[in-house]
Chains A and B, each alone.
Chain A
């Protein structure tokens, strides 16, 4: 088994044993790994996976017992780093980088959101509310894990791609989104795409349509109209 993948599963197993997987949502490139279970029997290959293992934390965050995440992963060799001027905490290992994110509310702020329940902090980011509201629970590898609904994941990626300043990030987001949307169409889940699209505020829907127009993606546009 690939070393990075083994570590990824180990982190999830420890989180599950600590009762964290009931609350947290795995997002980012690693959640696509679990979409393979959703798209069983179909052609779906997740795109490039980075080392970032991002967990979305519902706010307010309530767990029964406090979990010191740093201590939980320490013997695997994870070390805490503070990134950016704001000091967002990340747990780093040469094979994986664990980070926590929360939905940004109101005007927004660069300040890290404190998570004393995990002895960590989280980075607030826009549009994450939408992912939190549209999750599915997948059982695989002996784990029960929350991930965003693939349609919500893809539409969210299209929205944030429009906000990217780095072109390579924009391209990566769009590639990931379109790969998932294409797999959903193949699966016959067109109604799910439409349902998730309709849940979005009008402004967000317009952004999605703009991106699809820009990328000349006629098939998905046909589903959304």
Chain B
């Protein structure tokens, strides 16, 4: 049982570090999402972002492909990181619960 307890403790330590890193990674992504509007055959972009309780649309006009790609990638990674962060939070809760468990404490 000591082996399992040791593994769980190490995994908890790793998960806590991971949580911090995912939070940092989400923060480092460019904020907001691009919204495309077609006006008379031309594409114009707005940056949609949340400011407190409000959602703001900031006009960005015509954008180069790289800029659009950057926001699309950020959107994809934000979704991915949020999903993984939620997974890590569940792991942390599970590991803490397991380490508090009567069986592990009493046998070790």
Please name the residue on chain A nearest to B9 by beta carbon.
A168
A215 interface contact, C-beta 8 A? no
The interface bits of chain B over 9-38 (1 if a CB of A lies within 8 angstroms of the residue's CB, else 0) are 011001101100110010000000000000
Assess whether A172 is in contact with B6, with CB atoms less than 8 Å apart: yes
- Whether A168 pairs with B3 at a CB distance below 8 angstroms is yes
Number of interface residues of A (CB under 8 A): 20
> Which residue of the partner chain B has the closest CB to A169?
B6
Judge if A94 is at the interface, Cβ distance under 8 Å. Answer: yes
Q: Which of A182-217 contact B (CB under 8 A)?
A: none
B95 to chain A, nearest CB (A): 12
Cβ–Cβ contact B7 & A50, under 8 A: yes
CB atoms of B6 and A94 under 8 A apart: no
Cβ-based interface call for A48 (8 A) = yes
Q: Binary interface profile of B, 68-88, with partner A (CB < 8 Å = 1, else 0)?
A: 000000000000110110011
Cβ contact within 8 Å between A94 and B88: yes
Which B residues are in CB contact (< 8 Å) with A79? 18, 21-22, 25, 81
Q: Bound complex: CA of A50 vs CA of B9, how far in Å?
A: 11
Bound complex: CA of A80 vs CA of B22, how far in Å? 10
- Fill in one digit per residue for A48-83: 1 if any B CB lies within 8 Å of its CB, else 0: 101100000000000000000000000101011101
Given contacts A50-B11, A77-B84, contact A175 B3 (CB under 8 A): yes
Q: A interface, by DSSP: helix, strand, loop or mixed?
A: mixed
We find that the number of chain B residues with CB closer than 8 angstroms to chain A is 22
A2 at interface, CB cutoff 8 A:
no
Chain B residues whose CB sits within 8 angstroms of the CB of A136 once the complex forms: none
Contacts of A97 in B (CB 8 A): 14
Q: Across the interface, which residues of B come within 8 angstroms of A168, CB to CB? A: 2-3, 5-7
The answer to whether the Cβ of A6 comes within 8 Å of any Cβ in the partner chain is no
The answer to whether B14 touches A51, judged by C-beta atoms less than 8 angstroms apart, is yes
CA distance A187 to B81 in the complex (A): 45
Question: Could you list some 21 contacts between A and B, CB below 8 A?
Answer: A50-B7, A50-B10, A50-B11, A77-B80, A79-B18, A79-B21, A79-B81, A80-B21, A81-B17, A81-B18, A92-B21, A93-B84, A94-B15, A94-B88, A166-B6, A167-B2, A168-B3, A171-B2, A171-B3, A172-B6, A172-B7
Given contacts A48-B4, A51-B11, A80-B21, 16 further A-B contacts (CB under 8 A): A50-B7, A77-B80, A79-B18, A79-B22, A79-B25, A81-B18, A93-B84, A94-B84, A94-B87, A167-B2, A167-B6, A169-B6, A171-B2, A172-B3, A172-B6, A172-B7
Interface positions of A (Cβ within 8 A of B): 48, 50-51, 75, 77, 79-81, 83, 92-94, 97, 166-169, 171-172, 175
Nearest first, the 9 closest Cβ-Cβ pairs linking A and B are: A168-B6, A94-B87, A168-B2, A79-B21, A172-B3, A77-B84, A92-B18, A171-B3, A77-B80
